[in-house]
Amino acid sequence: MKKTDYFQTDDGANVAFHCWLPEEEPIAVLQIAHGMAEHALRYEDFALFLNKHRIAVYANDHRGHGMTAGDPGNLGFFAENNGWIKVVTDMRSLTKIIQKDYPDIPVFLFGHSMGSFLARTYITLYDDVHGLILSGTAAQPPLLIKTARVLGIFHRMLHGAKTPSAFFDKLSFGSFNKPYESDGPFSWLSRDKEVVLKYRDDPYCGFVCSVAFFQDLFFGLDYISKKEHNQWIRFTLPIYIVSGEKDPVGDLGKGPEKVARLYLDCQLEDVTVNIFKGARHEILNETNREEVYNDILEWITYHN
């Protein structure tokens, strides 16, 4: 069974969330934090797979995305101020809804791409998830992040907070599709051409985000790169990092390994990395998605 609802935040935002519930009583819940310039309904196939194994799935559309944005004119903008933390707080609100619905069932958090950065922020602030799965995550050089943050200040002064930033969009993603230009735009996401075409044709995917959004993103990347923040993570929290071998966001597998080392340096006890051969950025939408689905299911089942 699938349902969609909204919750209201303390600052008055209406956040849409979706849940896919198994026919039998669930043994676990997976909370999904989707990536940049996409939306939670793209995870329905994965959710239905998990439902067959008695795992419920909840996912909200982040601010400026999907049904939370509503009108396409609102896409790509979190908030005037403190957008990153507000979005993480929204995720926490959804966790509380899940815990109210299923008070005795473990909640696992899954974050993809930008959602992985949000999830990595989440676990430094809250200690209420049973395990963490990171998909398509990355480790950016601190100097690069700090430079981007300075540029963000000047761009906001020049262009305003809500203006879509083609400059930062190109800076962030400009080189990703070069190896696949003959396959068309966004082919760096997946080897599955049908998935890429659906993404291109979806008005709620692939949009250029605002100057303020990129400022929030750079803040988040800066925050999760610092060891002093990651030292607040519960050292018994199991973390599973999955990525594609050809994912440009993760520097072709190097980024996830760096993230794992950061967590191990913070004395976390259970950190595992799995790089899927040949896969690109969206491993849940890859040609070997069944392998990925089953692999994640096995990890959740083991840690449940």
- Nearest-angstrom CA–CA distance, 124 and 186: 32
Q: What is the largest CA-CA distance in the chain?
A: 55
- Nearest-angstrom CA–CA distance, 304 and 298: 10
Q: 177 lies in a domain?
A: no
Q: pLDDT at position 170, please?
A: 92
Contact yes or no for 206/296 (Cβ under 8 A): no
Q: 30 lies in a domain?
A: yes
Contact yes or no for 213/83 (Cβ under 8 A): yes
**Which residues does 213 contact at the CB level (< 8 Å), separation at least 6?**
64, 76, 77, 78, 83, 165
Q: 266 lies in a domain?
A: yes
Can you give the residue range of the structural domain that contains 255? 2-139+226-303
Q: Give the model confidence (pLDDT) of 201-229 as tens digits.
A: 999 999 999 999 999 999 999 999 999 99
Q: pLDDT at position 272, please?
A: 98
State the CATH number of the domain containing residue 284: 3.40.50.1820
Q: Give the model confidence (pLDDT) of 111-120 as tens digits.
A: 999 999 999 9
Q: 175 lies in a domain?
A: no
To the nearest 10°, the Cα dihedral for 133, 287, 61, 134?
A: 20
Q: Where are the beta strands (DSSP E) in 26-158?
A: 28-33, 55-60, 107-112, 131-135
Q: pLDDT at position 116, please?
A: 99
- How buried is residue 163: exposed, middle or buried, by Cβ count under 10 Å (0-12/13-18/19+)? middle
pTM: 0.97
Q: Domains in the chain: how many in total?
A: 1
Q: 106 lies in a domain?
A: yes
Q: 263 lies in a domain?
A: yes
Tokens of 289: 């998605």
pLDDT in tens, the chain (304 residues): 899 999 999 999 999 999 999 999 999 999 999 999 999 999 999 999 999 999 999 999 999 999 999 988 899 999 999 999 999 999 999 999 999 999 999 999 999 999 999 999 999 999 999 999 999 999 988 888 999 999 999 999 999 999 999 999 998 888 899 998 888 899 999 999 999 999 999 999 999 999 999 999 999 999 999 999 999 999 999 999 999 999 999 999 999 999 999 999 999 999 999 999 999 999 999 999 999 999 999 999 999 9
Q: 129 lies in a domain?
A: yes
Q: 164 lies in a domain?
A: no
Q: pLDDT at position 24, please?
A: 96
For 274, phi and psi rounded to 5 degrees?
-135, 115
